[in-house]
Structure 1
Amino acid sequence: MTTQVRRPAQVLAAVERASDALDLFGRASARLRRLVPFDAAVWTATDPETGLVTAPMLVENMGSGEGCAAYWESELLEENVVPFRDLARAAVPAAGLRAATGDLPARSARFRRLLGGQGVDDELRAVLRIGDRPWAVVSLFRMRGGTAFGPDDIALLATLSGPLAGRLRRFARPSGADPEPGGSAPGLLLFDEHGEAASINEEARRYLALLPDGPSMPSALGVRLPIWLIGTALQARAIAGGRDRGSARVRIRTRDGGWLSCRASCLSGPGGRPGPVALVIEPATPADLAGIVAQAFGLTPREFEVARLVAGGLSTAEIAAALVISPHTVRGHLKAVFGKAGISSRGELVATLFTERHQPATGPAAGPM
């Protein structure tokens, strides 16, 4: 086995027994540090449909949550070199800051505003993706006095993109747990035109208590706001300012194995200028989760479409007519879905991909963030 093949194999072997996404990040980071030395790192899951950061997030040697929030604000609202949104679509999903700027990292607003002042000399970043679906992003940092990340370092991280994403998406599968049903009233957070949290309802406080631990920011409301929610609100501002056409929405897995859906939109201020941002948190619906669960099982778009029509009650003949394919092809797709999801009937298919059993409980708060 050549060195180029052995190096990624070492990382993948290290993560094979990871119990969850955060454990995978820790194992991958520890092994990768031996192959590509770095001083600090940020690993974070992303929503595979929007690319926005979500839980969990692992931050190593990069300071406080305040610095983390500034990093994502720069990422979403400023002109930067190789932003993650571009890497998600690039032929090579990894890039070094110095390599991309001709050894002039100050061309990047992220470096001028943040990284340079923190003593960072170079950043190697990548999107962990399958096709066009990003499951995580990673940034590795070398401080002053170190060498720049070279072509072999970039190539190694790019090689790991798909295999690590494939392992990460397994953790989005239903856990089998059935949390106690709770109220479905939406939580509401309002950010003023300066991005400061201005008001919150009690439902939002309860949902915040269900979120996993991770980098967060203090607020004047008496609660800490996770970076994932701040990033979603920043994305709404980016869309309102014409910097992105994406969606300000993210799904977050809770402490009890359920899911919450968070959506943000920027309201209009005086004269049509962007005003406050409203962020809604509520239990994820089956429609919210069907796509992400299907991707977690590795279903193709056609297989997912067949599964969706099965959930709608259509027969094999009706599905064949709707998709203009043969009944034999429909049965072939269903066989593939059953095999990937580990199920044996249409009823199990609907229960696994399209039921409400993935919603989180909304009972008493689980403790401070």
Structure 2
Amino acid sequence: MKVLGLILSGSSHDNLDKLTIKRTSSAVPVFGKYRAIDFTLSNMVNSGISKVGILTQYNPRSLMDHVGSGKEWNLDRKRGGIFILQPFMTDKNMNMYYKGTADAIYQNMTLLKRSDEDFVLIGSGDYIYNIDFREVYKNHIRNGADITLLTKSSEGYNLKDYGQIEVDENNRVKNIYEKQSDKITDKIFLGIYFINKSLLMELLYSHVPNGSNNLLLDIIIPNLNSLRVFSYEHKGYWRNIKKSVKEYYDTNQDILKKDIRNELFYTRKIYTKLKDAAPPKINITAKVKNSFIADGSIINGTVKNSILSRGVIVRAGAVVENCIILQDSIIEEGSQIKNMIIDKNVVIREGKNIQGSNKNLITVEKGTVL
């Protein structure tokens, strides 16, 4: 399977509130020791894809620091490897930004031209899932498809956030209804494309110079009748963390469920940037229930139903409940916090009592002292 992977990480989102002030959504920490992009990157590598381009533009420093040379994903190689693709200014293009998904790929057409892969897999760095893309490839070939769109049952998802896909009895896509509030079909589009490379280049060359900058809305939907577009349904776990703070919170909490944890981490390995840290230390005064505690953390207080990243300190008498706490934050003695998302390097002072609710989560910006 000769496939070029492209990961879209260039959009600007304020849906995640304070979590994306200093980082792109693909670099947001999840599950204590991972970043969101780890899942798409690992899925590609586990499927035999050895050349991956990451298209990014807003707040890229954290993402670039995390991905580095791609060593953790075995992408630090002479042939293939990882490419960080940012917008740049030329004599013909004076705009230092991507206008949309199609424009982002078009501005990096050189990567497609120079690659010897026959297919392109396009996804986003914000998705949390575990999949073998080789099954998508087999389905694509079997259908004689030009484009395969990954879909999922719409049950449990907010329909206005997703495109709905209508298919015929052979799973060929008949219609795509973008972000409708009412239920039209039982499938949603997951924002993942598998496409023949030569066709992708042809479509981009013929549409982007004319102002068609969105791959789905401006190129695929208007050409549904002339293209062989098929659906491949992903039946496993899938979440898009950039949809909202609540979605991010709920996704992290899902790791406390055994079946989801097994699917995400024990079917195929998810790789991330390694950091040397001691195992978590849970002292005699600590009480921990239904929580994930990452390396380097020291717990002396009470932790319930929470996700604690590397190096978090919960001091004696402190109570942490239903919280997501990111790296190197400190919860001091006697503090009580509930239903909060706390970014990196935050200090909750001694005796503080801060409580949100499941419907009104409190988000604390990186480096804050409360």
Would the TM-score normalized by the shorter structure come out above 0.5? no
Taking structure 2 as the reference length, what is the TM-score of the superposition?
A: 0.27
Structure having the larger proportion of residues in helix: 1
TM-score scaled by length of structure 1: 0.27
